[in-house]
Structure 1
Amino acid sequence: MHMNSDDTVRNILCRTPFLKRKRTDSSAIRVRLRMVSGILFLFLFGFSIAHAEPFKVPEKFIYDLTWAGIKAGTASLELTNDGDRVKIVSTAQSAPWVSFFYTVDDRIESILSHNPAFSSIGQPVQYRIKIREGSHRRDKEVVFDRNSNKAIYRDYLKNEKKEFDVPPSVFDPISSFYYLRTLTLTVGEPVYVTIFDSKKVWNVEVQVLRREKITLPTGTFNTIVVKPNMKSEGIFYRKGEIFIWLTDDGKHIPVQLQTKVAVGHITATLVKGIY
């Protein structure tokens, strides 16, 4: 009997062993597709490292996300000028066959003020995350008051507002991506960055693993492979190690990201961009 790609993936989803037998097939599919959506969301918090040349503005990366060789979604990451500030916008959407079972539509924004004394990329002042993953919703915002070293946290769906003490050097998850691209990298020596996420301050370690040459649809790249270690609610609480391939040059562009799931790997591959 002939099976198209959607049938094949649904068959894999329904047969993976980590769910209890009591789950229905539709429930099993939703859980596994949530793992796929996790990688869509995961990409939004990718990390990269190097002491590099200034970023080109605008800068934009577009990625295909695949599972078992089948496209599961797309993701993008864009840097633009926004008046006297810098704006980072990242999005992720599920592919049509995934959306049939489990829609993913995520958007994350970070606004940074120009402050070379803080970092060459600037100083984060506002962070907004809007998540739609199946029936799951999140709509949260963090405003950094740099005068008082406070993070003002709002959850718009829960009508919650809180203030937290934060260190002067704190970043949000997405601005840390760009900050880390400006740091010196040495294989075997971890790099640390302070992040406010999930109402907590995290000291995130990024391991610098090795150099590796890889070939992708966009070309062949000399890369540096890194692995962030973080267990925040935002993304890295999801099970499975995360590896990121960065170009081994002054820009350190993230060309590939991969994580292992119950069946195979989810891979984010750069397909086009402005950089």
Structure 2
Amino acid sequence: MKNFLLGIVLLLTAPIHPAHAFPPPERLVYDATWNGISAGSAVIELTRQEDGFKAVNTIRSAGLVSTIFRIEDHIESVMSADGRPHIYRASINEGRHHTRNEVVFDFKGLQAETTDLVRNTRKKEAITAETHDDLSSLYFLRSRPLAPGTSILFDIYDGKRLWNAEARVTKRQQLTTRQGTVTTVVVVSTLKANGVLSKVGGTTFWFSDDTRHIPLKMKTKLKVGEMVLTLK
């Protein structure tokens, strides 16, 4: 998740408290489309753990898209009480591409240790105090004040590299949903690595314009086309 720049830039490093903005349990179910074609479904869940929170994201393809390019992804983020990621697990199955990684974050030593469960390898890389994983970053954004004209800067470590993320709050916009027309806050995210902008992975979010900032719609750039998730 990754783009943001316009107006005033806010570098927000304070800890987050997910339960304050959206008390768990929370379960969000989405219809997925790829280039306008029905592609399957996605579920994002947040539950309370003894000493923090656990978020789980599953994406499964269906129909015609599944016969062409099957997707079955399962991502977990175990977060501490302040919302920082502790353990990140990703099982990615997309077409012929299969990966299984586990990342353990050490914020005292500012390191992340990644275990590749397919190749049975390990590596350690430096992170920053503002680092999140792919999934915890969504809750980080939701916990922030989303004022149009501001930007939020943070980092994302996905087990491969450290990305510099910028989330730009662009405007308020009316969005027609199954429940009717609602006011949303539009946030555009981008990622950079070593100063180079990523051509994929940038996401546009339509968050509900309230304290929960529910992601009603998400549009992500892919290598081929784009994926859109719309809340059921």
**2:17 corresponds to 1:56:** no
**2:45 corresponds to 1:78:** yes
Residue in 2 that maps onto 1:11: none
> What one-letter code is carried by the residue in structure 2 that aligns with 1:150?
Q
- Where structure 2 has 5 or more consecutive residues not aligned to the other structure, the ranges are 5-15
CA distance in 2, matches of 1:62, 1:135: 26
Contact 2:191 2:201 in 1 (8 A): no
Q: Could you tell me the TM-score, scaled by structure 2's length?
A: 0.82
Residue in 1 that maps onto 2:213: 252
Q: Provide the secondary structure at the position in 2 that maps to 1:214.
A: strand
CA distance in 1, matches of 2:62, 2:34: 11
What fraction of aligned residue pairs are identical, expressed as a percent? Answer: 38
Residue in 1 that maps onto 2:123: 162
Give the 3 Å change call, closer, same or farther, for CA 215–135 of structure 1 in structure 2.
same
Give the 3 Å change call, closer, same or farther, for CA 83–46 of structure 1 in structure 2.
farther
CA distance in 2, matches of 1:149, 1:212: 38
Contact 1:110 1:127 in 2 (8 A): yes
CA distance in 1, matches of 2:230, 2:155: 27
> What one-letter code is carried by the residue in structure 2 that aligns with 1:61?
L
- After superposing on structure 2, the runs of 4+ consecutive aligned residues of structure 1 that deviate more than 6 Å are 260-264
> What one-letter code is carried by the residue in structure 1 that aligns with 2:104?
V
Q: Could you tell me the TM-score, scaled by structure 1's length?
A: 0.70
CA distance in 2, matches of 1:83, 1:178: 18
CA distance in 2, matches of 1:229, 1:68: 20
Give the 3 Å change call, closer, same or farther, for CA 46–253 of structure 1 in structure 2.
farther
Determine which of 183, 190, 211 is the counterpart of 1:229. 190
CA RMSD in angstroms, aligned pairs only: 2.7
Structure number with the higher helix fraction is 1
**2:81 corresponds to 1:114:** yes
CA distance in 1, matches of 2:60, 2:68: 13
Count of residue pairs brought into register by the alignment: 216
Give the 3 Å change call, closer, same or farther, for CA 76–70 of structure 1 in structure 2.
same
Give the 3 Å change call, closer, same or farther, for CA 74–151 of structure 1 in structure 2.
same
CA distance in 1, matches of 2:211, 2:135: 20
Structure number with the higher strand fraction is 2
